[in-house]
Amino acid sequence: MAGRSTYEELEQRVKELEKEAAQRKQAEKALRESEEKCRTVLEANPDPVVVYDKEGKVIYFNPAFTRVLGWTLEECFGKQMDVFVPEEDWPETKKMIGKVLTGERLSGFETHRYTKEGNIIPVSISGAIYRDWNGGLVGSVINLRDISEQKRLESQLIQAHKMEAIATIAGGIAHEFNNTLVGIIGNIDLLQMNFPDDEIISKYIKVMKASSLRMVDLTNKLLAYAREGKYQSKIISINDVVRDTLSLIRHTINSSIQVETDLPRDISDIKADLTQMQMVLSAMLSNASEAIEDQGRIRIITREEEIDEEYAKNHSGLKPGYYVCLMVEDDGRGMDEETRSKVFEPFFTTKHHGRGLGMAAAYGIIKNHDGWISVDSELGKGAVARIYLPAVKVKDKEKETEGNRLQRLSF
């Protein structure tokens, strides 16, 4: 009986061990599947993800980390990633690490990180620690979202709001100037009428009138910036605008500066005020020539472009559609980002003299023509000013031509 009992106990124990082995095998399979799912999720994540051990050493990068930041897992495995934290961001980063290690989940922490190439990009960081089966700290998982595009769009929006606010103020000042100038110029004309033969008075009247007319020009530029100027739009050729404007102002550009044009014949027309367009191009050329300190080159280029939704989304104020593009390139000293961001502000100038209203007026004029204007530049690399104006459709052009013909017949 004792032998039988021992045999049955052994048999029972074998069954229990087989059951435990089967359960362990099933658990291992489930763990492998879970790990595979986690890896699939991490590798499919468009944001960079880095996994650290409890000592802060890298044990995993997802492909997005390499794509965005440049480092591969082979380069950094078992190492700490101090190298990609800019010095000025270390204090906040240390606080973030401390919070994560205490078990606090982190979300939306904005800071900066270096790429392998040495560029600094803004990132939004989310992260948490992970533990073993016994609750012990194993490491941390950190998600870094590149928010460069978001920051760029935010900057564009802030700049657009600032420009609108300044335009409102400029418009109010211009109207006040106009009201005052009407009285001043009117009285100057009366003086001239009452003392036509007085040479001394005429001499002073001439100076006063010249100063008043300069103020009128200043006021008109302020109104143009505020998008309140008077416009007489008609269908015109952008290439003709370039040629006519160059013939008027070429003598004002330093003779050591070479001016080149690239004006294809098959460019669509635009509907715009000719005088205002000449003012815009004059401002762009003046800005370009002033950036060239000695010898240099300015290129004026016209093109026809289709703006798609993706491009328009990344350029605030620009709508999808067909446009005529006018570009003015120079190889001058260029501008840093701070200077470039202020180029359309009234009275902003990099010169020691001058009123700095030309580009501000150009901004208002182009906006009032449902267009878009920008300047791209880097220090030492020149600048490119671009304007986009809606291309006139053939049907619209035929309608206006027919309207003009009927108007002439009616006279």
Mean pLDDT along residues 120-142: 86
Cα–Cα dist 15/26, whole Å: 16
* Residues ≥6 apart with Cβ < 8 Å to 249: 282, 285, 286
Nearest to 361 by CA among 149, 218, 161: 218
Write down the mean pLDDT value for the chain.
80
- Tell me: pLDDT of 271 over 90: yes
Cα–Cα dist 20/284, whole Å: 82
Whole-number pLDDT of residue 226: 59
Cα–Cα dist 248/184, whole Å: 30
Sheet arrangement for strand 120-131? 58-61, 49-53, 137-146, 120-131, 106-114
Give 80's DSSP letter: -
Higher-confidence residue of 107 and 403: namely 107
* Residues in the chain, overall count: 411
Higher-confidence residue of 406 and 270: namely 270
User: What are the backbone angles phi and psi of residue 259, rounded to the nearest 5°?
Assistant: -110, 120
Interaxial angle between packed helices 274-290 and 238-249, expressed in degrees from 0 to 180 and rounded to the nearest 10: 60
The answer to whether residues 331 and 292 touch, using CB atoms and an 8 Å cutoff, is yes
Percent of the chain beyond pLDDT 70? Answer: 80
Whole-number pLDDT of residue 83: 81
Whole-number pLDDT of residue 222: 67
The tokens for 310 are 């993706």
Whole-number pLDDT of residue 75: 87
- Tell me: pLDDT of 378 over 80: yes
Residue 54's alpha-carbon distances to 73, 81, 84, 232, 281, in angstroms, are: 18, 13, 19, 71, 62
Whole-number pLDDT of residue 190: 86
Strands 106-114 and 58-61: unpaired
Whole-number pLDDT of residue 407: 43
Q: What is the pLDDT of residues 213-253, one digit of tens each?
A: 878 777 776 666 655 555 678 899 999 999 988 888 888 88
Cα–Cα dist 213/151, whole Å: 44
Whole-number pLDDT of residue 191: 84
User: What are the backbone angles phi and psi of residue 146, rounded to the nearest 5°?
Assistant: -70, 115
180 CB neighbour count, 10 Å cutoff: 13
Using CB atoms within 10 A of its CB, is residue 350 exposed (0-12), middle (13-18) or buried (19+)? Answer: middle
The answer to whether residues 384 and 375 touch, using CB atoms and an 8 Å cutoff, is yes
Give 294's DSSP letter: S
User: Which range is least confidently modeled, 83-97, 250-264, 348-362?
Assistant: 348-362
Mean pLDDT along residues 17-40: 67
Whole-number pLDDT of residue 410: 35
User: Which range is least confidently modeled, 137-141, 207-211, 290-294, 405-409?
Assistant: 405-409
Per DSSP, the three-state class of 311 is helix
The answer to whether residues 287 and 252 touch, using CB atoms and an 8 Å cutoff, is no
Return the half-sphere exposure (C-beta side, CA atoms, 13 A cut-off) of residue 83: 14
Whole-number pLDDT of residue 179: 77
Cα–Cα dist 388/393, whole Å: 15
69 CB neighbour count, 10 Å cutoff: 22
CATH number at 45-146 = 3.30.450.20
Nearest to 144 by CA among 51, 41, 271, 245: 51
The tokens for 342 are 């202020």
The tokens for 221 are 């530029």
Largest interatomic CA distance in the chain: 150
Higher-confidence residue of 50 and 341: namely 50
Nearest to 253 by CA among 227, 214, 292, 226: 292
Whole-number pLDDT of residue 402: 47
Cα–Cα dist 151/123, whole Å: 10
Q: What is the pLDDT of residues 158-209, one digit of tens each?
A: 766 666 666 666 667 777 777 788 888 888 888 888 888 888 888 888 888 8
CATH number at 234-397 = 3.30.565.10
* Residues ≥6 apart with Cβ < 8 Å to 184: 208, 212
The answer to whether residues 126 and 143 touch, using CB atoms and an 8 Å cutoff, is yes
Whole-number pLDDT of residue 356: 59
